[in-house]
Structure 1
Amino acid sequence: MDIKPLILIVEDDKPICKFIKVSLEAQGYKCIETSSGNTAVSLVFSMNPEIIILDLGLPDMDGVEIIEKIRDRTKAKIIVVSARERERDKVEALDSGADDYLTKPFSVSELLARIRVGLRNFNKNNNTQGNPVSSFELRDLKIDFDKRRVSVLGEIIHLTPIEYKLLELMSKYPGKVLTHKFIINKVWGGYCESETKSLRVFMASIRRKIEKDPAQPEYIITEIGVGYRLVDE
């Protein structure tokens, strides 16, 4: 018997909460919900959900504070669903540990797609824990971590050391939006805002090498003002 994934919905707008719950249960997901930030934190630790759908504007606690309280203590994928559209809010939530960010209003199909990505990555992380992955494949793109080799359609792609580090980093978080700050910290060892321009240059160079049409990328998607996301199928 298959165990249905458990999704925690943290939303204080009752019509939206009901809409999300009904939509997800129709797809076979098991849902629990709360409008309280403090209760949400307790439910994360007691119920251990696989996915957390989180509104930021809660009456008792800001959603970013919730992320900070739970991020290091749960493997659940956190999908922020918020009316806050400012890039600053998105960056703050993602840098705090959210895995994805949807702006209201949103479509059910889009939310379901983000949940599927989250569940795939949740299961992938659990299955590979303690077992280092030697390669990564996405469509025609392949990364051999042992040989530090990248190929597209079997043809070796020559990347600079920084370009390889960037692509390797993104391959570890497929489907997740990585902020400029996160990427720069991981690749350069510390964040400096001036490095954002360098990051754009390197990403453009990677796209020229791995994309059929760099202007219409299939692999690396720009999240304007926020960062980059490697697609996940």
Structure 2
Amino acid sequence: MRLHREGKTIMITTGLVLLALNLLAYFYLFSDNSTAITLLAIVSLILFLLVVQFFRIPTRPLTTGETQVIAPADGKVVVIEETVESEYFKDRRRQVSIFMSPLNVHVNRNPITGVVKYFKYFPGKYLVAWHPKSSTENERTTVVVQAASGTEILFRQIAGAVARRIIWYVKEGQPVKQGDEFGFIKFGSRVDLFLPLDAEIKVNIGDVTRGGVTVVAELPEKE
């Protein structure tokens, strides 16, 4: 396991603030109360470990396959439905949404290999991530990758009530590889996938996904 570069500043700042607070308590606030000092130290350690675990990148064997769409994030499947994707495709698609809690790994990975055909960032609100309007009104990014077969997959990072910063590492025209990082969302949110109607969905509502590992859907082979 390693720690994500996006967490460097937050982890250092959190560590210094907690250290200063504990030193202040030890020498001034609770100098004559060993129980309070011990409790503060324990709480501070737990808080720091929670921040550190948020930025972890576990070592795991990634799944690859030309016809497989891999989960872009760790989390829980909260939506599987046929819907109209109105931003790019402007037609009916199969939507799969993965909710990411603050305890999940927050690296976002490319679900397929291909070329980025479309990218756009939208500022917006911070509704709770499971709110029906969060995918169209919250801060978000939209990425469309076209596979070598010509199939296009749209995936969308969506900020939530807790997540207040979306980070991306892709741009239009860039080739991307399945399983590589395309972004990061700080402190919980969700990722939506929009798939062709003939895609065979391999997950169910409530399933727990692992980014870069879980097969979300199987695409038909192109003749």
Which TM class, normalised by the smaller chain length? under 0.3
TM-score where L is the length of structure 1:
0.24
Higher strand share: 2
TM-score where L is the length of structure 2:
0.25
